[in-house]
Chains A and B, each alone.
Chain A
Amino acid sequence: MSNTLEGFNSQAATFAADVDQAFWINFWISIILFLSVVVPMIYFAWKYRADKVKNEDICKVTHNTSLELAWTLIPTAMLFVLFYYGYTSMKVLRTMPAESQSIVVHVEGKKWSWNYTYPANKSGYVHKTAELYVPKDQNIILKMTAPLNDVLHAFYVPAFRMKEDVVPGRITKQWFNSEVIGTYDVECAEYCGTRHSYMYSKVHVIPRTDYDEWFESKKRTPGAPDVTISKGQELYESNGCAGCHSIDTDAVLVGPSLKGIGAKYDAAYLKDAIVNPDKDIPEGFTAGVMPPFTLPDADIDEIINYFNNTDKGKELYEANGCAGCHSIDSDAILVGPSLKGIGAKRDAAYLKDAILHPDKDVPEGFTAGVMPPFTLPDADVSEIIRYMQSAK
């Protein structure tokens, strides 16, 4: 889950500046209009206060045609200006670029997760991701929808100033073109129920080459480790982290085990833990033991990526939105039951059934009909089950 709203006050899309310009024009016109009402009011209330005015001096004017015309026509003119800017900023937001010059990504919003389906790459592989990766300076068209039995959501990227509802049964579209490399939060802005406030995702704007490399590969995410040792692992090892932390067992060496740490904490926390290790100390450990590391941001990101590194099962688990309803590494009940340690409790056949026909056997305390039945290939189901079994 995202814990920071990254880039919320940056103008990260080409049209963000148009929207902001419209807003600020409106802001200043509003200030003028506001003052044109409030300043005379306060001035009159003071100037003509009861103990200063003699009854004979009270004025009787009830009409003044030129004044009345002025305060009708001048604001009207200003309103037309505002309409114009509202309209033009809408135009840039809503005029889709040609599909041939854009990357078209299908977005599905459902209770309570987002997933993205890319067009097939050269080798015919179709990327499905839980976060959106796009190259810098490239038109992206989002074709959005929700499953028919789902509800409304809205795909909202504050940093891009763009938003459009996701409507079951309809395709809605948005486009953007981001010029600034970075990671931006996606929020769900249309009320959709229990976990509406956690329906986040991210847009990663990455350099063209990284994107292309990823797109033509079968890697889960750009920067995810390939078969060989990844940059992150290399850094992890070259910086001596491995000396104090175990990463694939629960063993506590000097510091805590980092097994599964990527799933427990968000990137900001992890970065902090590397750069400022003394700020937030996990229970049972003392400050001052781990030295602060001064590494370039990119390297830290690599290490964090390495933490996040998982298998196909996790990928599917996230891409299908299971995480929107089930926690896997804590006992928290989100919408469905926590799946922590589920592998020990249930056998594989049961778990398969639970995914394909969730209403057949409903655990106590939950109602049928909440979890949608998933139709996934058997292979994928086994991958997910393996992942659930491995997550203890």
Chain B
Amino acid sequence: MIDYKSERVMYYKVLVGLLLLTAVTFGLPYIFEAGADLPAQMFIAVIKAWLILMFYMHLKGEKLISVMGIFSLMIVLVFFIIVLVVDVANFQFKDESHITAPQHTTGVTKHVTVPVKH
């Protein structure tokens, strides 16, 4: 049988931690410039996720499952890196493409080039 009392204390402690981090999530944007804080936000989210995984989901001490989980995450990471860093970041002819803004092409093409919005 498990130690109910101490486990419960752990649950509450983690909850407090999570709530604090949520508060930080809320506060952060007022420090950064609009849209620039995403990495920081995601970093906080990762800490929160780690807390949930380790304590709420009892991953602590589960070697096999952790290894499998890390493997799965690595794969997602690789998808991100390849698609975003390797392909999109090197998006060719970006400035000539009208992918970032609507343009009405009908009939004979008029090649309007719309600069990318930043």
Contact = CB atoms under 8 A, between A and B. Distances in A.
Contact of B111 (A143, A173, A374): A143
A66 to B, nearest CB: 33
Given A170-B97, A372-B106, A373-B106, 18 more contacts: A106-B109, A115-B108, A117-B108, A117-B111, A128-B108, A143-B111, A145-B105, A145-B111, A148-B102, A148-B104, A169-B99, A171-B96, A171-B97, A172-B92, A172-B93, A173-B92, A319-B108, A320-B107
Interface string A137-168: 00000010101100000000000000000000
Residue among A106, A145, A172 with the most chain B CB within 10 A?
Answer: A145
B109 A147 contact: yes
B103 interface: yes
Contacts of A145: 97, 105, 109, 111
Contacts of A117: 108-109, 111
A261 B103 CA distance: 40
Given A148-B102, A148-B103, A169 B97 contact: yes
Nearest to B104: A148
A106 B106 contact: no
Nearest to B107: A374
B93 A170 contact: yes
Interface string B62-102: 00000000000000000000000000000011001111001
15 contacts: A108-B105, A115-B109, A117-B109, A128-B108, A143-B93, A145-B109, A147-B105, A147-B106, A169-B98, A170-B93, A171-B96, A171-B97, A172-B92, A173-B92, A375-B107
A376 interface: yes
The 7 A-B pairs at the shortest CB distance, nearest first, are namely A374-B107, A147-B105, A171-B96, A108-B109, A169-B99, A170-B97, A171-B93
A145 B103 CA distance: 12
A128 B108 CA distance: 9
B111 A170 contact: no
Interface of A: 106, 108, 115, 117, 128, 143, 145, 147-148, 169-173, 319-320, 372-376
Nearest to B102: A148
Residue among A115, A171, A375 with the most chain B CB within 10 A?
Answer: A171
A373 B108 CA distance: 11
B103 A143 contact: no
A48 B57 CA distance: 58
A173 B97 CA distance: 11
A115 B110 CA distance: 12
Contacts of A115: 108-109
A320 B108 contact: yes
Nearest to B113: A171
Contacts of B98: 148, 169, 171
Contacts of B109: 106, 108, 115, 117, 145, 147
A135 to B, nearest CB: 22
Contacts of A147: 105-106, 109
Contacts of A172: 92-93
Contacts of B103: 148
A368 B92 CA distance: 36
Contacts of B93: 143, 170-173
A253 B110 CA distance: 47
Interface in B2-28: none
A147 B99 CA distance: 11
Contacts of B105: 108, 145, 147-148
Contacts of B106: 147, 372-375
A356 to B, nearest CB: 9
Contacts of B102: 148
B2 to A, nearest CB: 49
Contacts of B111: 106, 117, 143, 145
